[in-house]
Amino acid sequence: MTTAPTIRRIATRGIRVPLRRPWGPDVRDLSLVEVVVEDSDGAIGYGFSWTPQIGAAAVRAHLDHDIRAFALGRAADAVTLWQPLWEHLHEGGGGGITTIAMAGLDLALWDLAARRAGLGIADLLGRRHETAEVYGSGVNLHYPLDELVAQAGRWVDAGFDAVKVKVGSPDLARDLERIAAVREVIGPDRRLMIDANQRWSLERAERAIGELAAFDLAWIEEPLRADDLAGHVELRRRIDVPVALGENLYTHYRFAEFIDVGAVDLVQPNIVRVGGITPFRAIADLADDRGVALAPHLLLELSAQLALTLPGEHLVESVEDASFEALGALAAPSPVTVHGARVRTTAQPGLGIRFADDRADAAASVIHTEES
């Protein structure tokens, strides 16, 4: 009888990636934690956790101590490990740092399994599509109007049929001017989404969306604080624009709550924030069962591959100049490539996401050096 491989080693590395286009005056780089897992047969898998600004040190500490202590010696299988690990860590919180840290190990175990099978992750999970649609996205609320207009023009030139722009300025008139300018650039036929990043109160959201709806919006993203379930229920009752949210929801239970009370039209789980591929697939199954649309949040190289495994069409977000490939963070060719408004895989094994050695965060690396 063959014994299933167990987890023999878990190592972490802090990574800092400068952004080509800052996401704000104080957001000029991204923080990640690379996770390397080795099983008892010597097979290796590579995963990562992504914060991107707050909590990287805490995530790495969680991996180096609580997660490592629980996982070593257990079966090197992402699906069987995830739930007992989550239950073990739950005393420290069911989401946030907990699930972000868990994602690093979950992704590494899926990468290991795909590499062992000689497949990319989409083919290991069961590919349903060869391509998925990409939409242009920008972290651009701080852009002057001329820069925003120029960005919208680049999306049109790239062939995108859908774009997303940030809103939530202190002065609603500024948002109206900017969205009007973007709509003029992209024309009447492309889908236009807006993202308020939790900036509004219920009353301000109702007023702002009421005025911005004139520009034929495909969705309003995160209009209120992400954990305000009652507020979203009431807002959804008051407006006609579809509501998208989920990048700051962390568990299957929270997604079920928002879906089942009719607070959301489209869910946007972030694969790392929810805890990796294992819970992402459960959330995708939930959305499909309830008839709610899904669009993965950020992380193009990972999100696109998983979108190809889901039933139906799912939009994939491409933030301008912010993919790992565009930031020069990868040690090998990207696992995906974008042509026009479509993304496809490039036959890389596993997740196909390995970070370059020169991206190590030297300041963080002195904190945790233990590898086993």
Q: Is 164 a catalytic residue?
A: no
Are 360 and 15 within 8 A, CB to CB? Answer: yes
Residue of 166, 232, 314, 368 with catalytic role: 166
Give the C-alpha separation, 200 to 211, whole Å. Answer: 14
Residue among 132, 101, 111, 142 at smallest CA distance from 19: 142
Q: Is 297 a catalytic residue?
A: yes
Q: Which residues contact 94 (CB under 8 A, 6 or more apart)?
A: 86, 250, 251, 253
Residue 341, H or E segment: none
Are 240 and 263 within 8 A, CB to CB? Answer: no
Q: Which residues contact 42 (CB under 8 A, 6 or more apart)?
A: none
DSSP conformation class of 174: H
Residue of 62, 164, 232, 297 with catalytic role: 297
Sign of CA dihedral 263, 265, 269, 274: positive
Q: Which residues contact 233 (CB under 8 A, 6 or more apart)?
A: 261, 262, 263
DSSP conformation class of 8: E
Instruction: Give the count of beta carbons closer than 10 Å to the beta carbon of residue 7.
Output: 24
**Which pair of structure tokens corresponds to residue 98?**
């907990």
Q: Which residues contact 154 (CB under 8 A, 6 or more apart)?
A: 136, 320
Cα 114–chain centre separation: 21
Question: Which residues are paired to 108 by β-bridges?
Answer: none
- Catalytic residue set: 166, 297
